[in-house]
Structure 1
Amino acid sequence: ECRSICILSGAGVSVASGIPDFRSPGGMYDTLQPDLITASEAERDLMSMDPTYVVEKRMFLRNAFPYLEVRRPFILGTRDRRWKATIAHRFAELLHKNT
């Protein structure tokens, strides 16, 4: 007699619909070009050494531009409906509607 369901998933659910992940070859970290990002030289150096820095909270609080710039293609793709929901997305939606 469950009243709640929790779905644990990973990036693969969205990758299946064509949304690139962060870590795979060709993903956000792999294609990051710190020299083209609105950031201080020190921030660009940190992103060059560790691409994950671009999505860290402390970086975002100091300078949100790098995060927003690297997420822009995803945001525009969502707006343009470039990606379609996968069966996993639809299943989660079905559970939500029927629980």
Structure 2
Amino acid sequence: ELNNSLTRYLEELELTRERVGLVLEAEDRRLSVRMNRTMYRFGIITGIFLPMSFLTGLLGINVGGIPFSGNPYGFVIACLLMISVALGQWWLFRRLRWV
């Protein structure tokens, strides 16, 4: 009888161990999906702001070297060009179904 009782306890312990393993696997999958979603969003945000920050950094180096600097509306044209780049990126991301 003691042997049967011990066997039952060991079987219950093994079942509990398997259940804990399944719970840990489910939690690991959930965290992995969350991390992938976060990295996806980070990649999209980086893809949007990296070219724009490059353009602003390039234009911030030397204001005299701005395109259309001789034109009285040169600054407005440069701003419109940056806005068009941003809208082009947005359109591309929408077309690729990233956003």
Does the TM-score normalized on the shorter chain lie above 0.5? no
Kindly indicate which of the two structures has a greater share of residues assigned to helix.
Answer: 2
Q: Which has the larger radius of gyration?
A: 2
**Shorter-chain TM band:** under 0.3
